Structure 1
Amino acid sequence: MTLRIGCIADDFTGGTDVAAAFRRAGLRTALVFGTPDATTALPADCDAAVIALKSRSAPADDAVADSLAAQRVLWEMGAAQIYVKYCSTFDSTARGNIGPVTDALATATDTAVTLHCPASPPNGRTVYQGHLFVHDQLLSESPLRQHPLNPMTDSALTRLLSAQTPHPVALIDWPTVRRGADAVRDALAAHQRAGARHVIADALTDDDLATLGAAALELPVVAGAAGLAEGLSRAHPAAGPAAPVPVPREGRAAVLAGSCSVRTLEQIGHFHAAGLPAHRLDALAAASGHDVIGAALDWYDAQDPGLPALLHASAAPGELAAVQDALGVAEAAALVEGLLGTLASHLVGRGVRRLLVAGGETSGAVTTALGVRAVLVGDEADPGVPWTYATTEAGELALMLKSGNFGAPDLFTRALGAPGTPGEEHA
């Protein structure tokens, strides 16, 4: 396999998001969960390979080690360029992991300067004067300031990244981007001569990201969200439209949600409003030794098999805070991931063949529990939310791994073709 682009994503839903961007650009794309080993069967003849890790909220040293291991695999596969994919809301802390990971990969590849841009205009993420906006709000004034793991209380990307790296961070402003790829290349060269290792670029539109992608075509390491990845991949000669991936039509459909993001809560609310069956998992009861899994499966077995069913541990901010106060933030997250991973195995064993999973950490737990290591990337139901296709011991399985903040409010019902929705066109 000779790759044009090798990508390292910091969580599983981020991996599906960037894989969908590569596929939209006409690149044949493989998505791998975790660093491949000798037992991982990869699709042949791919232009891009995405290795999705669970490194976003891991300790920085672990994130660096995992990312370097993935980089070595991608180089062995022939990747000429490494794309570091992180969240379009720059989810991170003052300790990392965006800075430490990008620094390590730049050192490993002898990269002098790296271009960064987390903009994703279709999802309302733009960068102007080095500040990240979520729709019409600064990141620091958006609901992301209350993120349960990485609350984002600053919008200045140069300041955020400077706190994570000992190297200088510079900015390419929007007027420069609008002058075209040559102007961006000149600015990158000037910042490199001045000693900067990381350069943030403004972007307000997909055309801006295409300009940045063309300018970054020769850089060994590029970093950002799925928008810049698509711009970069469109600068490569396209392989042509990817063939449709078949989604199983037989078997039951279900949703597993662990994300507590505002958008996921809206999607759960829409599912309820549609009158579809939903069951909430009680994390505190599970921590007290109650058989929460058994109760959930008993509930599921009693539902109409012709309807999609939702099982979730998502909670509003006040309820989430109470659980985290009682159990600890990391402990609560691990407990919920374990519950939903176990439920995924039981549901697939009960005949579920279309499974929508909401939340990056939840998606990691589910794919790990199901033993899914590599998938083909199919069509999107919403921007950045594609169906993927895997073969498991139980049979063919369609997986949709959704970042907590992604998708329209009606995604759950529409993607799974609930009665009265246009889901069939997306399935």
Structure 2
Amino acid sequence: MKLAVIADDFTGGADAASFLKRKNAKVVLVTKIPHKQVECDCLVFALKIRSIPKNEAIESVKQVCEYLKSHPVKHLYYKYCSTFDSTPKGNIGPILDFLLEYYHLNRCIICPSLPENGRTVENGILYVNGIKLAESPLKNHPLNPMWDSYIPNLMKEQSKYPCLILNRKSFDSYYDNCPDRDKHYIIPDYVNIDDAQHIVKLFHNDYLFSGGSGLLEHLFQFHNNEHVFSAKTATKTIVLCGSCSKATKSQIESWINKGKTSYAINPNSNIEELYSYIQESGSEILFYSNAVFGDLTNANRDSTFYSNAKKIESLLSKLGAFAYKNAYNRLIVAGGETSGAITSVLNFTSFYIGKEIAPGVPTLIPTHQPNFHLILKSGNFGNKEFFLEALEE
């Protein structure tokens, strides 16, 4: 294998796999440590480690590192959300610290940019569509809010090691002006493809990388290997939306405006009634949380808020399992937490990577069920026609 990726949630894993697939990599995505040899160029570990206790997250990452001892790769890439995590208890810093120490490394780049989706970094500041992250609509994410745009400030609360800003004017002179240092992180400018190629050229001999999915395809270009996987066309589709993001809201609205079948659920919805609704509906149906059309900007995030979110996640997981057992062969999920829950319930642990529906959102085909299509979308990904376009893949 040439590259291993540790993604901090399921949609992040699919996102990473999609960008690698663009470069004709043979990619396998797994949700657990494989018990046997996996034949591929790139192995993506989709772990649910973004919003769990730090010690549990590090233990999951350690298991991957132990696996890689007997399955060596040229690069290990820790992939996290391109809009980072500004909470002091965020896991990005602790996991990066662990990886530096585990591999006895002195540095790792932090590169959350994904210019294709409007996420860029310049002078250490993370932007979303040209707006500083902390001033963008993404600042109020319910689980991973973004209250600061300056990455060194975000890392200072999470990590024990300092950050070095590397602007593009300094790319070519980096090694001349940067003597040996103690453990540290490097935050390079990355706003376009030229920046990405410069970063890879500069650091391509490093073992450890970290960031969003934007840099992955350029890193793999050093080891390109053609592989094509095709899947049969899906015929029955269920869409399950746990995300309440602005992007997902517009996608739900487009679905409804097209006259497609939909159902708004709430934490107290009766699961048997929902099962009946599936059986009575046609071949395309969408379920979404009724909270998506409410005002979550100033929502009281108390224990009831999180309890209701878990109830919605549980309902959607049960609907996904029911649809799978009732001959639905395309399942589209919006929301990272929901995607992780549903994938776990279905007990899918490894996937081939099929057609890309939108940047960072591929079709996943379970290796043991090649006639089933699974599409996992981060809440903020995709244009307003995403669900409708996914029906055409």
Q: TM-score, normalised by structure 1?
A: 0.87
CA contact (8 A) 2:76 2:209 kept: yes
**CA distance in 2: counterparts of 1:170 and 1:128, whole angstroms:** 13
- What SS does structure 1 have at the residue aligned with 2:33? coil
Shift of the 120–55 alpha-carbon distance from structure 1 to 2, 3 Å rule, reads: same
**CA distance in 1: counterparts of 2:330 and 2:123, whole angstroms:** 42
**CA distance in 2: counterparts of 1:349 and 1:392, whole angstroms:** 15
2:33 counterpart (23, 33, 36):
36
1:73 counterpart (53, 67, 85):
67
Bigger CA drift: 22-31 or 261-270?
Answer: 22-31
CA contact (8 A) 1:57 1:97 kept: yes
CA contact (8 A) 2:86 2:148 kept: no
**Counterparts in 2 of 1:332-343, with a 5 A limit?**
332-343=308-319
Amino acid at match of 1:327: T
CA contact (8 A) 2:231 2:371 kept: no
2:184 counterpart (186, 197, 220):
197
Which 5+ residue runs of structure 1 have no aligned equivalent?
417-422
Corresponding residue for residue 282 of structure 1 = 266
**CA distance in 1: counterparts of 2:317 and 2:145, whole angstroms:** 25
Shift of the 326–5 alpha-carbon distance from structure 1 to 2, 3 Å rule, reads: closer
CA contact (8 A) 1:139 1:155 kept: yes
Corresponding residue for residue 400 of structure 1 = 375
**Counterparts in 2 of 1:74-89, with a 5 A limit?**
74-89=68-83
Give identity over the alignment, percent: 33
**CA distance in 2: counterparts of 1:410 and 1:16, whole angstroms:** 20
Shift of the 145–323 alpha-carbon distance from structure 1 to 2, 3 Å rule, reads: closer
**CA distance in 2: counterparts of 1:304 and 1:80, whole angstroms:** 48
**CA distance in 2: counterparts of 1:143 and 1:167, whole angstroms:** 30
Offset at residue 297 of structure 1 (A): 1.7
Offset at residue 349 of structure 1 (A): 1.0
Corresponding residue for residue 165 of structure 2 = 171
Offset at residue 336 of structure 1 (A): 2.1
**CA distance in 1: counterparts of 2:25 and 2:100, whole angstroms:** 24
Corresponding residue for residue 385 of structure 1 = 361
Corresponding residue for residue 237 of structure 1 = 223
- What SS does structure 2 have at the residue aligned with 1:164? coil
Deviation string, structure 1 residues 162-216 (Cα, Å, up to 9, x no partner) = 2211111111013224xxxx445556xx1x6243511111111022112212222
Q: Is the counterpart of residue 215 in structure 1 residue 212 in structure 2? A: no
Deviation string, structure 1 residues 110-157 (Cα, Å, up to 9, x no partner) = 111101110001100000111000002110011111110111011001
2:137 counterpart (134, 143, 150):
143
Corresponding residue for residue 126 of structure 2 = 132
Superposition RMSD in Å: 2.0
Corresponding residue for residue 253 of structure 2 = 269
**CA distance in 2: counterparts of 1:387 and 1:203, whole angstroms:** 27
Moved over 4 A (4+): 184-187, 319-326
Deviation string, structure 1 residues 81-103 (Cα, Å, up to 9, x no partner) = 21000000013521221110011
Count of matched residue pairs? 392
Offset at residue 244 of structure 1 (A): 3.3
CA contact (8 A) 2:140 2:297 kept: no
CA contact (8 A) 2:105 2:183 kept: no
Corresponding residue for residue 98 of structure 2 = 104
Corresponding residue for residue 299 of structure 1 = 277
Deviation string, structure 1 residues 387-409 (Cα, Å, up to 9, x no partner) = 1111557x721111111111111
Amino acid at match of 1:315: V
1:206 counterpart (193, 202, 205):
193
Q: TM-score, normalised by structure 2?
A: 0.94
Corresponding residue for residue 419 of structure 1 = none
